[in-house]
């Protein structure tokens, strides 16, 4: 199998032929709208062509800069929020050893994350941890003024300056920001940081195939060319010129919208492999921020199985029947581990002695799927042949393409996020930011 595959068998009982025929016609129209760039938000569709438009020289430059930073530091702090860090973290976590944080003989720096929250304890503990460490910073922000990453950058830059001196910062800080404007662009130019550009026509949550995602992935030691080749493979599979029957992104958009129209308003992303946790976190942002508008949208949730079967499993099995599940399964794990036989058999596990752990996991997956389907929860299954750069690239592009189609089927603009600005306005008003005086007065009156 040279590509990810998707199976809708366990959804067939939840729609009829006329549902499918209507949605099929609709999805064929929306693929053309997306690829012709004639729909809402069409000025943010640069991500469609990234697997082709990232050149060999771009890759070479990213790898060069990543390699230079790797030789200087033991830790790299990736500063960003939302799409500025989730895509790269999804790939890095999926491909890394689960216990890298505890190993001391790594050939690549450990990646730490900041700017994705405003927790005083988290930032204080990070500063304390890095106080005697050799570290560098990759800061990602289009404007440079987004509150969470801007605070983290100010704090960590101050720490780094104390440790190595202001004059050396340019060797240890890389900025990924706007081509021409913004606070971070100005800072990078004035302080001579190496910088990369966030393309104007690519929104943050679709930016994993730009330097936003590729540079951190390269710093972590992974093959960004392989990631892009996987994305290109999926772009070819999901092209509008291909028969719809083979276009798995279109079919995913089609089926999830049929289920939504039939009352299945919450989609749960399920994984049976712990390394896919942040793939689900990235997916939640991609779909939540793209589709949740105008009182519409499928609510994206995520669980890690079998762990969450012992917490959320009861609700999924017997709770409100507005759910469907999309299951991520990995066909072939990288390692092999078998269950030993025990002469005393006090734990009663000898019935599975000699079996691979993955076989037990797969039977848990199958048994759970059968139980949930019997309990009224349709299941979509996405099979990933293995966890490597090629298939991760395929998976992320698949979700991006399907998201654009699905958003258009919902009748919203999948490429803006007007609702995100509401909390920012309130926060700025409460903090007394200049220019928000009217809002400050109004909100203070309200909270009295």
Catalytic site residue 310? yes
* The model's pTM: 0.95
Catalytic site residue 289? yes
Does residue 432 carry a pLDDT above 90? no
Catalytic site residue 424? yes
Q: What is the pLDDT of residue 448?
A: 73
What band does 32 get if pLDDT is binned at 50, 70 and 90? very high
Rg (CA), the chain: 23
Q: What is the pLDDT of residue 103?
A: 82
pLDDT tens digits, 212-259: 999 999 999 999 999 999 999 999 999 888 888 889 999 999 999 999
Task: Please tell me which residue in 133, 170, 424, 444 is annotated as part of the active site.
Answer: 424
Tokens 């994350």 belong to 113
Residues sharing a CB contact under 8 Å with residue 365, sequence separation 6 or more, in sequence order: 272, 305, 327, 329
Instruction: Give buried/exposed letters for 317-349 (b at 16+ CB in 10 A, else e).
Output: eeeeeebbbbbbbbeebeeeeebeeeeeeeeee
Q: What is the pLDDT of residue 241?
A: 83
Does residue 398 carry a pLDDT above 80? yes
Length, in residues, of the chain: 448
Per CATH, the homologous superfamily of domain 5-39+228-410 is: Glucose-6-phosphate isomerase like protein; domain 1 (3.40.50.10490)
Report domain extents, the chain: 5-39+228-410, 47-222
What band does 440 get if pLDDT is binned at 50, 70 and 90? confident
Residues sharing a CB contact under 8 Å with residue 109, sequence separation 6 or more, in sequence order: 69, 70, 73, 74, 75, 76, 135, 136, 219, 220
What band does 1 get if pLDDT is binned at 50, 70 and 90? low
- Give the residue-averaged pLDDT of 40-44: 96
Strands 75-79 and 379-384: unpaired
Q: How far is CA 289 from CA 38, 252, 300, in A?
A: 21, 18, 10
In CATH terms, the fold of domain 47-222 is Rossmann fold (3.40.50)
Task: Please tell me which residue in 310, 348, 438, 448 is annotated as part of the active site.
Answer: 310
Task: Please tell me which residue in 93, 148, 267, 289 is annotated as part of the active site.
Answer: 289
> Mean pLDDT of all residues in the chain?
95
């Amino acid at each position: 199998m040279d590509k990810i595959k998707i199976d809708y068998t366990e959804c067939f009982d939840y729609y009829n032929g006329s549902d499918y025929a209507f949605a099929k016609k609709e999805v064929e129209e929306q693929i053309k709208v997306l690829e012709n760039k004639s729909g809402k938000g069409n000025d943010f569709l640069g991500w469609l062509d990234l697997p082709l438009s990232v050149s060999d020289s771009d890759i070479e430059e990213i790898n060069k800069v990543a390699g230079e930073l790797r030789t200087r530091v033991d830790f790299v702090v990736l500063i960003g929020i939302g799409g500025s860090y989730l895509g790269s973290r999804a790939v890095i976590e999926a491909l890394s050893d689960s216990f890298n944080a505890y190993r001391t003989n790594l050939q690549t720096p450990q990646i730490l994350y900041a700017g994705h929250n405003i927790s005083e304890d988290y930032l204080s503990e990070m500063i304390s941890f890095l106080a005697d460490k050799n570290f560098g910073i990759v800061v990602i922000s289009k404007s440079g003024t987004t509150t969470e990453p801007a605070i983290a950058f100010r704090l960590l830059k101050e720490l780094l300056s104390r440790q190595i001196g202001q004059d050396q910062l340019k060797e240890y800080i890389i900025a990924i920001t706007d081509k021409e404007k913004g606070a971070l662009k100005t800072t990078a130019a004035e302080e001579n940081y190496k910088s990369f550009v966030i393309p104007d026509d690519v929104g943050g949550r679709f930016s994993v195939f730009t330097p936003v995602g590729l540079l951190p992935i390269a710093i972590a030691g992974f093959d960004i060319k392989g990631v892009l080749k996987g994305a290109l493979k999926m772009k070819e599979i999901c092209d509008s010129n291909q028969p719809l029957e083979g276009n798995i992104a279109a079919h995913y958009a089609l089926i999830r919208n049929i289920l939504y129209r039939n009352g299945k308003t919450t989609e749960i992303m399920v994984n049976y492999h712990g390394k896919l946790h942040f793939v689900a976190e990235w997916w939640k942002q991609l779909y939540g921020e793209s589709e949740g508008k105008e009182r519409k949208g499928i609510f994206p949730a995520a669980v890690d199985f079998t762990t969450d079967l012992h917490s959320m499993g009861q609700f999924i099995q017997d709770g409100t029947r507005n759910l469907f599940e999309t299951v991520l399964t990995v066909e072939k794990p990288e390692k092999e581990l078998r269950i030993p036989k025990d002469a005393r058999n006090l734990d009663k596990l000898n019935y599975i002695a000699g079996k691979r752990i993955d076989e037990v996991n797969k039977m848990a997956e199958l048994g759970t799927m059968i139980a949930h389907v019997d309990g009224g929860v349709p299941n979509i299954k996405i099979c990933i042949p293995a966890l490597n750069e090629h298939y991760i690239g395929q998976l992320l592009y698949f979700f991006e393409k399907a998201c654009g189609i699905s958003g258009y089927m919902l009748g919203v603009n999948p490429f803006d996020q007007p609702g995100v600005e509401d909390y920012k306005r309130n926060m700025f008003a409460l903090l007394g930011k200049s220019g928000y005086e009217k809002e400050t007065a109004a909100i203070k009156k309200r909270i009295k």
